């Protein structure tokens, strides 16, 4: 029995203005849909990027790590200083 998880990383660029994020806070949007660097379309809850949102929105390069078998997001993190807009 193999107990090691198969973890995959998806790299993407994200740019969302404060005005666009307002829709999320007003309850109109709960998911972010992005095109990864490799061309895949990915959708995940906005809550995964909440720690990186500033007053002007969010902008930068990020990596999403997920468990392939469990189809579970493990983390979404900025790459090299991409935290603020």
Residues contacting residue 61 through CB under 8 Å, at least 6 positions apart: 11, 12, 13, 14, 78, 79, 80, 82
Distances from the Cα of 57 to the Cα of 1, 53, 72, angstroms: 45, 5, 25
Domain assignment present for 39: yes
> Per the structure, how many domains does the chain have?
1
Structure confidence by residue, pLDDT tens digits, 55-75 = 999 999 999 999 999 999 999
20: confidence class by pLDDT, cuts 50, 70, 90: confident
Which of the pair, 25 or 61, is modelled with greater confidence? 61
Whether residue 85 lies inside any domain: the answer is no
2 in any annotated domain = no
Q: Is residue 32 part of a domain?
A: yes
Q: What is the pLDDT of residue 84?
A: 46
CB neighbour list of residue 26: distance below 8 Å, 6 or more residues apart? none
pLDDT number for residue 26: 85
For residue 28, the 8-state DSSP code is: S
Could you tell me the pTM of the whole model? 0.82
**What domain range is 53 assigned to?**
7-78
Higher pLDDT, 68 or 1: 68
């Amino acid at each position: 029995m193999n107990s090691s998880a198969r973890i995959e990383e998806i790299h993407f660029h994200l740019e969302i203005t404060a005005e666009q994020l307002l829709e999320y806070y007003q309850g109109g949007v709960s998911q972010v849909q992005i095109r990864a660097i490799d061309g895949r379309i990915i959708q995940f809850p906005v809550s995964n990027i909440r720690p990186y949102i500033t007053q002007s929105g969010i902008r930068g390069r990020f990596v999403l790590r997920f468990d392939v078998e469990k189809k579970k997001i493990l983390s979404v993190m900025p790459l090299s200083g991409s935290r603020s807009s």
